[in-house]
Structure 1
């Protein structure tokens, strides 16, 4: 497979950790930097969580940068109920690396530097709120032109929300940032929406096989996933919940596409927009399939995927 150079921007909760471990295990991937953002938990916790993942994967040489600690308008939404108060399942690790392992450079500055040093060669995978990306393009309007491809986990395609009636978590955390990114980034953009990931879930039987591999990485994953697994079981009686009938690692779908584009087997290419003002729809992503908005830039919204390739990537992540 072709060598892939990535920068990963994330709000490291459990599924971000799964996606990151997937990329770390891929032989064709080199991660040039990891930029941290508020979201599932505080940005300090996110940084700690990334360092824990890198430690268990023996990859602490990869630089980690602290970024935005709140949304552009200052609102704060965390996902404690799913990821735990620390974002990683509330499993303390006394031997975890300290924040002194972080780079001194701010995440947004590092992002601008890395893509300027390697124009058109590096893809960006964003699995959290898009605050760092919005700040980057506001600092340098030419930033998107230096990105090879952008892979986003976020937004929705059927008006189904998971934190509000119509809002997916990452976009609802910072709708203004999502709006800026989807309206100013003119690089090839691929989006794994909430509904797409839920439709592409894998059976719980596979999850059991995956997570009970006899490896250090699998043991780590079992520990950090227990909290969210219990949350899913509590929600399993809710007929409106579309993610509880199988295992869904939301962020891993965007990462799988970044690792291997053939993972996506069907997509909708259209203009996309983020609603900022609706009482019930703020943060909702709108697909302009009839081209009423006449947007020049089109996004590739994932619709179907190769689940066997996805399973292989997940299995490899914990070997």
Structure 2
């Protein structure tokens, strides 16, 4: 069942009603992999994206907002509201990923057609989160693919916020002490460890986490990636352009010690999005309480798995360990049609 019904009104105009659609609120720090995840969600027939909130991370908040609008324009979905959010972490300095994503966060493509900032909503992202959750109590699935600053601020403003959303899907953290920014810190959590700590210790809604190790252990073959980008569609052409910078970076890293992910295509943020869209995507998980280390010299920002239940926490999360990569391939293919 596609989740959509189409009928004609008395004027003969086609109207579309979403039936049983999953209501998503997506929080991003829009780089190339966020763009992939957004396009995946926009193409899914059983999904209604209620709004996209923006956060610092892969690039500056200004670039992140602009990048989201660019993705929506490419997909002809500029009717979806976009909200500007946190421009910096709760503590410390901004960390960006320009080496991989480009200075602008979207590959530094010179001829991309970016919409003007006037297309942004005037409402702050955190206030939009609280409003949307209140307007659709118990129905909104929140997908976070960047630093968790906006979510932490929303919780601090309204402690009942987690009870108002249906579920939370996070791309971030790690489960084997392997980092991709620091020795033990995954990028999204290491960008704002305090925010990650607040969210993992304050949100008590059903929560699934797609960690860094999970994504690269379920990487896709480069043969799929090359075929995926080879299609002659507007969306595929767009993806080829914005991916060229990160592709070049990955090629330079190939063979370097510790760069396991260069052995295959790892669309990090798409794993969390796929899990939110398709409940059968994740095939195995660890169910335990988690937290985040804030003080360690080498471990600041590292996610802690409380497998021995020493933290005595009631709320436990689902940490993805295995998934159906064929379903991910199908979702990615649909995204570029």
Task: State the TM-score bracket (shorter-chain normalisation).
Answer: over 0.9
Which residue number corresponds to residue 46 of structure 1?
A: 64
- Confirm or deny that 1:158 pairs with 2:176: yes
Structure 2 CA distance for aligned equivalents of residues 284 and 187 of structure 1: 22
Shift of 1:294: 1.4
Which residue of 1 is the match for residue 250 of structure 2? Answer: 232
The 5-angstrom pairing of residues 51-90 of structure 1 reads 51-90=69-108
Aligned pair 1:168/2:186, yes or no?
yes
- In 2, the alpha carbon distance for the partners of 1:3 and 1:134 equals 27
Q: Distance in 2 between the 1:169 and 1:22 partners?
A: 22
Q: Hey, what's the Cα distance between the residues in 2 that align with 1:281 and 1:262?
A: 33
Distance change >3 Å, CA 183–CA 92, structure 1 → 2:
same
| Partner SS state of residue 333, structure 2 | helix
* Alignment partners' CA distance in 1, 2:191 and 2:88: 9
2:283 to 237, 247, 265: 265
- Post-superposition Cα deviations, 1:30-53, rounded to whole Å, max 9, x if no partner, equal 000000000000000000000000
Q: Which residue of 1 aligns with 2:14?
A: none
How far is the alpha carbon of 1:239 from its aligned partner?
A: 3.0
Provide, for residues 248-277 of structure 1, a one-character-per-residue CA deviation record: whole Å limited to 9, x for no partner: 000000000000011000000000010000
Paired position in structure 1 for 2:222: 204
Q: Are 2:227 and 1:243 equivalent residues in the alignment?
A: no
In the other structure, the counterpart of 2:13 is none
1:131 pairs with 149, 160, 174, which one?
Answer: 149
Equivalent residue of 1:47, what SS?
Answer: helix
Q: CA deviation at 1:94?
A: 5.7
> Could you list the runs of 4 or more consecutive aligned residues of structure 1 that deviate by over 4 angstroms after TM superposition?
none
Q: What TM-score results when the alignment is normalised by the length of structure 1?
A: 0.99
Tell whether 2:125 aligns with 1:107: yes
**How big is each residue's C-alpha offset from its partner over 1:129-170, in whole Å with a ceiling of 9 and x where there is no partner?**
000000000000000000101000000000000010000000
Residue 243 of structure 1 aligns to a residue whose secondary structure is: helix
Q: 1:259 and 1:252 mapped to 2: Cα distance? A: 10
**Which among 98, 102, 108 is matched to residue 116 of structure 2?**
98
What is the aligned partner in structure 1 of residue 45 from structure 2? 27
Higher RCO (CA-CA < 8 Å; seq separation 6+): 1
Q: Distance in 2 between matches of 1:188 and 1:242?
A: 31
Q: Aligned equivalents of 1:236 and 1:23: distance in 2?
A: 30
**Residue in structure 1 matched with residue 197 of structure 2 by the alignment:** 179
Aligned length: 319
Task: State the SS of the aligned residue for 1:311.
Answer: helix
Residue 92 of structure 1 deviates from its aligned partner by 2.7
TM-score relative to the length of structure 2: 0.94
**Is 1:6–2:24 an aligned residue pair?**
yes
Distance 1:316 1:73 in 2: 39
- Per-residue CA deviations over 1:217-262 (Å, capped at 9, x if unaligned) read 0000000000000111111111311210000000000000000011
Is 1:316 the counterpart of 2:329? The answer is no
